[in-house]
Amino acid sequence: MKYEFQITTGQYEYIKGYVEGTADEAVMAFNDLKRAYTGGSGLPADRWRAWLDSYLAGKPGSVEEWEEMSDFQKQVVNEIKKSKKRNSN
C-alpha cells in the first residue's frame, strides 16, 4: 500500500511524506520524520520527571541530559529559569 502523511510545522506550513509498504512501515516513517523535525523524542517521561525534580531542588543536570531533551522539554526548562529569575528580584 501507499501512504501519505504530513506534519504541521507552522501556520500554512507542513512537511509531506510518502511511503510504500505495510502500515507498520508507514508509522515508522512518520515517526522518523516527526522526530527529525522536532529534534528528537527527548528524555523519557520518568527521567524527565526526575530531572525536573532535581532541577527544582537546585541540582542542575548534566550537559548530556540537556542534549537529550526535546525542544519542548528545553522550552519548559527555560520558562522555569525565567520564572525563578523574575521571582528572585
Q: Residues 19-29: pLDDT tens digits? A: 999 989 888 88
- Stretches where the chain sits below pLDDT 50 are none
8 Å CB contact between 27 and 16: no
pTM for this model (two decimals)? 0.53
What amino acid is encoded at 66 in this protein?
A: W
pLDDT at 62: 85
pLDDT at 70: 83
pLDDT at 2: 93
pLDDT at 38: 62
